[in-house]
Amino acid sequence: MNALLTDLYQLTMAAGYWSAGKAEETAAFELFVRRLPANRNYMIAAGLEQAVEYLLHLRFEEDEIRYLQGLPQFRRAEPGFFEALRRFRFTGDVFAVPEGTPVFAGEPLLTVRAPLMEAQIPETFLLSMVGFQTMIATKAARMVDASGGRAVVEFGTRRAHSPQAGLYAARAAFVGGCAGTSNVLAGMRFGIPVFGTAAHSWVQSFPTEREAFERLQGLLGDGTTYLIDTYDTLEGARQAVSLGKPFWGVRLDSGNLIELSRAVRRILDEGGCRGAKIMATGDLNEYKILELVAAGAPIDAFGVGTELATSMDAPSHGAVYKMVEHVSPLGRRYTAKFSADKATLPGIKQVFRFRDHDMIGRSHECPSPDAEALLRPVILRGELAQPLPGAAEARQRARRGIEALPKQLRTLFEVDPPYRIDLSEELIQLAREVRARR
């Protein structure tokens, strides 16, 4: 499944490891984000469930192997390598931070320890899946925070980077705190509440707006949301009221949302529809939501598409996957990169969460009974260590985790000082030794 959905060099390296007799040597890689993206003070880990599914089902099909055999890069690869691909199973260990956990720059979200070839090939998929979902869960958490308790619904599949990206964006947005999504497949596959009623084309397909509204109400009853801005927003609100049938509320998708929401609220209230809600959509982001909330706009729910599903202001968090240990017949080596702007720390790590700060240490450390170790076994010797929490449980963890964060981190702008991240003495010592040995 998806075995070729990787960078070619993962496979040329695998062939090289095989030729060099190193395929069975053990290596450990860590997946982390180097720097918090602009204006973010924390991230929400997400995407683990799909990463684990991928590792547990990673197989090379015969046609895929044949394709590789035809590439010039594998002309000198040994037949034994292709045999190894045929037998390929992920047999290693994975440790990971549970989905929904707030995390910070430099903290491993996922650690893979496996035979070199098995640890190398999944790099591309893992980075893409965990990196993307973490980015979207983080963006969603910002919007939910900005909304001050109002519902935020994810509507972004049409603007996501392919329909499949929309599916995972919906999942990650739910983990980050959204109330649900418009993506039906995400609803079916991940048990996420799905929302949506009608678009402008619905209104346009009837001779009059009134008839369009009546028909929609006939279908959706008290769950109906009338989209009222196709022709004239205030007129649309009056139509909704005048039908005299139960409905959930109205949706505004254009114009000045502060003024329109007030005017519409008045029309609803004066028409005896005090219980009817107002949902706002249309190029919203966390800053606009905050502005609407701060202005006291009578909006009950926000639908967010493009900005959420693409993490518009920070469309990549630059996740990386770096080798930190390598065990060969020559012994155990702790590895790191020292290139100018991309240095990494050696050794398998653990993240210890204290009440008001984190400490990144070595995996065997046990600094305090008060500290929570964030990375937990997920796959052991190729088998699931325990059932993974789904999206709903991850969402609860995110909510608790965000509430436990120092208050000042929950703003839409970078705070100074940032959340405190210490490195343990042992880790600093190891880094020094590795550096000195070069």
Site for a copy of itself in 71-110 (CB under 8 A): 71-73, 75-77
Choose one: 87-95, 104-112, 226-234, 264-272; the region binding a copy of itself (CB under 8 A): 226-234
Separation of alpha carbons 242 and 238, rounded Å: 6
Asked whether position 436 contacts a copy of itself by CB under 8 A, the answer is no
Q: What angle do CA 214, 219, 222 make, to 5 degrees?
A: 85
- String marking each residue 127-166 x if it binds a copy of itself according to CB under 8 A: xxx-xx----------------------x-xxxxxxxxxx
- Choose, by CB under 8 A, the member of 330, 364, 369, 387 that binds a copy of itself: 330
> Tokens representing 176?
């980050």
> Tokens representing 15?
């062939």
Identify residues 9-28 at the interface with a copy of itself (CB under 8 A): 9-13, 15-17, 19-20, 22, 25, 27
- Choose, by CB under 8 A, the member of 1, 8, 295, 428 that binds a copy of itself: 8
Strand bridging mode 110-115 / 93-96: antiparallel
Distance of CA 167 to the CA centre of its chain: 11
Choose one: 36-44, 83-91, 99-107, 125-133; the region binding a copy of itself (CB under 8 A): 125-133
Phi, psi of 362 (to 5 degrees): -85, 160
- Cβ proximity of 105 and 36 under 8 Å: yes
Choose one: 96-104, 197-205, 393-401, 418-426; the region binding a copy of itself (CB under 8 A): 197-205
Asked whether position 192 contacts a copy of itself by CB under 8 A, the answer is no
Find the DSSP H helices in 58-162. 62-69, 79-86, 116-120, 123-146
Select 10 or 411, whichever has its Cβ closest to a copy of itself.
10
> Tokens representing 235?
């007129």
Asked whether position 1 contacts a copy of itself by CB under 8 A, the answer is no
**Which residues of 245-328 form beta strands (DSSP E)?**
249-252, 277-280, 301-304, 319-328
Separation of alpha carbons 17 and 28, rounded Å: 15
- Choose, by CB under 8 A, the member of 246, 272, 296, 315 that binds a copy of itself: 315
Size of interface with a copy of itself, in residues (CB under 8 A)? 109
DSSP 341: T
Identify residues 34-53 at the interface with a copy of itself (CB under 8 A): none
Asked whether position 281 contacts a copy of itself by CB under 8 A, the answer is no
32, containing H or E segment = strand 26-33
**Residue 427 Cβ vs a copy of itself, minimum distance, rounded to whole Å:** 18
- Choose, by CB under 8 A, the member of 90, 125, 190, 419 that binds a copy of itself: 125
Sequence-separated (6 or more) residues with CB below 8 Å from residue 249 = 225, 226, 276, 277, 278, 279, 300, 301
Choose one: 265-273, 308-316, 378-386, 396-404; the region binding a copy of itself (CB under 8 A): 308-316
**Residue 269 Cβ vs a copy of itself, minimum distance, rounded to whole Å:** 24
Separation of alpha carbons 299 and 257, rounded Å: 9
- Cβ proximity of 282 and 253 under 8 Å: yes
**Residue 7 Cβ vs a copy of itself, minimum distance, rounded to whole Å:** 4
Select 9 or 413, whichever has its Cβ closest to a copy of itself.
9
**Residue 268 Cβ vs a copy of itself, minimum distance, rounded to whole Å:** 19
Nearest C-alpha neighbor of 54 from the set 1, 113, 108, 110: 1
**Residue 281 Cβ vs a copy of itself, minimum distance, rounded to whole Å:** 11
The strand pairing partners of 384, in sequence order, are 379
Strand bridging mode 102-103 / 43-44: antiparallel
- Choose, by CB under 8 A, the member of 195, 226, 247, 352 that binds a copy of itself: 195
Asked whether position 271 contacts a copy of itself by CB under 8 A, the answer is no
Asked whether position 229 contacts a copy of itself by CB under 8 A, the answer is yes
Asked whether position 363 contacts a copy of itself by CB under 8 A, the answer is no
Choose one: 38-46, 89-97, 181-189, 424-432; the region binding a copy of itself (CB under 8 A): 181-189
Q: How many Cβ atoms sit within 10 Å of the Cβ of residue 280?
A: 24
Identify residues 159-178 at the interface with a copy of itself (CB under 8 A): 159-169
Asked whether position 213 contacts a copy of itself by CB under 8 A, the answer is no
